[in-house]
Each structure stands twice: as structure tokens, then as C-alpha cells.
Structure 1
Amino acid sequence: MDGSSRSCPRKTGIGGLLEYLNGCILVLFSGPIGEGDAVNTELWAIENGLEIFANSGWVWCKQLVIEYEPMLSFSW
């Protein structure tokens, strides 16, 4: 999952994917989320991915591993 932005505060967007451990993609998501900073955008992408997973049929039978830029999210 990832977030991106331009200047500060800036227009931001998120994107991510849910995939099996073998690399087969289950779902892709992306979209604009308005204005914000890089940290909030990154966390918004994680939240969006978690919501998709929680509302899917995979939640009861799959393990979830979150990959993101941890230094960005935890340095503020």
C-alpha cells in the first residue's frame, strides 16, 4: 500500500493491492483523497487496504501482511 503527494499541503492519492503469497493479485485499489501530507496519505492507504480486506471473504481464511514505508509513518 502506498500514498503519494505533491508539495505541502498537497493533493494526495493512494494505491495498493491485495495478493496471495505466490504473487497472484486479488484486488487493486487507487484513488485521490484530497489534500494532506505524506504521513497521513500513507496511513490512509493502509486504512483503505485494511477495510477492503476486512470486508472481503478472505478475512477468515487468509493471513494479512502489510508492506509500506514504515520510516515515513513512524518518524512524525
Structure 2
Amino acid sequence: MIYPSLDDLMKKVDSPYSLVILAARRARQLNLGGAGLLEEYRSKKAVSQSLEEIDQEKIKYRTKYKKDIK
């Protein structure tokens, strides 16, 4: 995986675990026919597409804790 870089992705989430869960859930949505959030993707694979969406800040999430992430 060259794009997006792991360093860029880690700036968008609070932990590597959160990144994996977020990307996996979004990839499952895409595999089940969910609409893409970007105009154009560099990759054809759902996991890579979900990482591109996270990098472009099209996907946001909340935690159960007081410290909410975008």
C-alpha cells in the first residue's frame, strides 16, 4: 500500500486499531454495493478505496469516550 501513506492516515484517527476497524467496516459497505464517497479512486479494491476516503476525510467517527475524534 503506497497511497495513502500510513503516516497520513494515522493523523486522521486516534489509533491503528481504530483505523483497521473503520477501514474494514467501510470496505464491507462498499463490497455490499454502497455508494462511493469520492469522485475518482486510485484503486479498485474496497479496502484501498475505504482508506482513500479516510485520508480525504470523507469518513468520520465518534468514540464512546469524552475525547471525541472528528
TM (norm. structure 2) is 0.32
Greater radius of gyration (CA): 1
More helix by percentage? 2
TM-score of the pair, normalised by structure 1: 0.29
